[in-house]
Amino acid sequence: MVRLSTPLVTALGLATSRVYAALQVDLDDPASIKKAAAQVAEDLLTFYHGDEPGMVPGILPGPPPDGDYYWWQGGALWGTMIDYRHHTGDKSYDDTISQAMLFQVGPNEDYMPPNWTASMGNDDQAFWALSAMLATEVGYTDPPEDQPQWLALAQAVFNEQTHEDRRVASGRCEWGLRWQVYPSNNGYNYINTIANACYFNIGARLARYTDNSTYADLANRTWNLINDLGYISDKWDVYDGAHLPDCSNINKAQFSYNAAMLVQGAAFLYNYTDGSQLWKDRVNNLVDRTLQVFFPDNIAFEPSCENAKCNADMESFKGYTARWLGTVMQLVPETRDKIYPVLKASTQAAVKQCTGGDNGRFCGFHWNTGVFDGEVGAGQQMNVLGSLISLLSPDVAAPLTNQTGGTSKGDVNAGSDEPLVPTFAPVTGGDKAGAGILTAILIAGALSAFAWMSMD
């Protein structure tokens, strides 16, 4: 959360003595939704300074104590903005988005810039890959030919995370993707849902986009791992993870982005498999439980932290969840009747409390109170923006594939110059993309990194 000084609070008009009307929007009018989304997007980017002289493109201010945000939230920001562009047609931020996404690719073109080693999680790297994958699927402007391409960037991250150096070698947690990349980072022995769910999600989307069954096989293997470890309960609750050596003492905290990441990936595999009953059932069960747990009274809520204190990471989960449920409605249309009314009611509650700032429309985190809570930040703005555009999703073009208009170029060796392992199934689509797997990863020393729950 951005912690404002008293003078700044006054300057922004956050003092309780000043009252403004909420963000104005008619949720039955797509044009009105787009107008409100444009205003929220504009306010969101006031927290970004990477396009200013002397600043680092791509990242939000941080990490703590220099600012509230870790590197991954930059990747999440640009995914939100790419989705905003896709849903509204507003291309005015294209230069900023492209500069940011390309500046952070790192020397190996794999979203592993060395200066973020001390807090580099597999989920952090994956969030940038998810934004690159989204750019691929929505036909976002391809980079110049001498720059890394969106599809190849997503493949590079997937390839590296498939490698054994990122995974548990044996035992009950075998093949589990570790939370942290480097052994020196706090959380290296935590096998969490979000890292594995991100990998599952990217694999599902690569399978659908390239029509390559090996991606689907790896996604299926990851689903089975998450399920077999008990991270998905019999009631379809999605838990946070567990530690080595055996991943048996499960941390049963529930965060919306874990469940939403899985249900979106499942929706892609439902679509990829031409509507298999297995993935249909998984989608519907996850959707039903997600709406029950994270939308009490039809308003987005983070049950594992919101009654106490959510950190800046957790304060951004609502927006991702809304956006990804929007994709589910596109790929599994039968879910619209149960998802859309909940998202609409939640969005109404969200915009009602957007009365902060000197323009009277900055948003807070708590949506179930009906009043602005004074907590402004990039996460809060991303939440409301994601919720607004999710209402447009059913009538927006579904994600592309390389056979339905996708133009981004893949790279079979993305992330590595080494020979490929494993051998990939023949590509049945036009793009000869595979998933090259790194055969060596340099493990560098690093400082112990941020951990937002008890690790190791």
What is the radius of gyration, based on Cα positions, of the chain?
21
Q: What is the pLDDT of residue 21?
A: 53
> Is the confidence at residue 209, as pLDDT, over 50?
yes
Q: How confident is the model at residue 206 (pLDDT cuts 50, 70, 90)?
A: very high
- Asked if 87 contacts 30 with a C-beta cutoff of 8 angstroms, the reply is no
> Is the confidence at residue 92, as pLDDT, over 60?
yes
> Is the confidence at residue 230, as pLDDT, over 60?
yes
Q: Please state which of the ranges 119-123, 262-266, 359-363, 441-445 shows the lowest mean pLDDT.
A: 441-445
Q: What digits encode the pLDDT tens for the residues 313-323? A: 999 999 999 99
Q: What is the pLDDT of residue 416?
A: 56
Q: How far apart are CA 104 and CA 328, in angstroms?
A: 29
E strand or H helix at 241: strand 241-243
C-alpha pair distances (Å), 204 with each of 33, 150, 215? 30, 16, 7
Burial, 181: exposed, middle or buried (Cβ in 10 Å; 0-12, 13-18, 19+)?
Answer: buried
Q: What digits encode the pLDDT tens for the residues 272-287? A: 999 999 999 999 999 9
* Residue, of 5 and 123, whose pLDDT is higher: 123
Q: Which positions ≥6 away from 263 have C-beta within 8 Å?
A: 283, 286, 287, 290, 324, 325, 328
Q: What digits encode the pLDDT tens for the residues 18-30? A: 334 579 999 999 9
Q: How confident is the model at residue 413 (pLDDT cuts 50, 70, 90)?
A: confident
Q: Please state which of the ranges 12-21, 50-59, 319-328 shows the lowest mean pLDDT.
A: 12-21
Q: How far apart are CA 205 and CA 196, in angstroms?
A: 14
Q: Which positions ≥6 away from 210 have C-beta within 8 Å?
A: 401, 402, 410, 427, 429, 431, 433
> Is the confidence at residue 68, as pLDDT, over 60?
yes
Q: Which positions ≥6 away from 189 have C-beta within 8 Å?
A: 178, 243, 244, 455, 456
Indicate the average pLDDT of the chain. Answer: 89
CA proximity to 279, closest of 323, 231, 216, 336 = 216
Quick one: angle between helices 193-210 and 122-137, nearest 10?
Answer: 30
Q: How confident is the model at residue 305 (pLDDT cuts 50, 70, 90)?
A: very high
Mean pLDDT of the region 174-189: 97
Q: What is the pLDDT of residue 456?
A: 42
> Is the confidence at residue 425, as pLDDT, over 80?
no
Q: What is the pLDDT of residue 37?
A: 98
CA proximity to 313, closest of 168, 203, 452, 422 = 452
Q: What is the pLDDT of residue 277?
A: 98
C-alpha pair distances (Å), 124 with each of 120, 185, 210, 223, 319? 6, 13, 24, 20, 17
At residue 377, φ and ψ (nearest 5 deg) are: 175, 170
Per-residue tokens: 365: 């985190």
Mean pLDDT of the region 208-217: 97
Per-residue tokens: 293: 């747990």
- Asked if 176 contacts 195 with a C-beta cutoff of 8 angstroms, the reply is no
Q: What is the pLDDT of residue 257?
A: 98
- Asked if 452 contacts 311 with a C-beta cutoff of 8 angstroms, the reply is yes
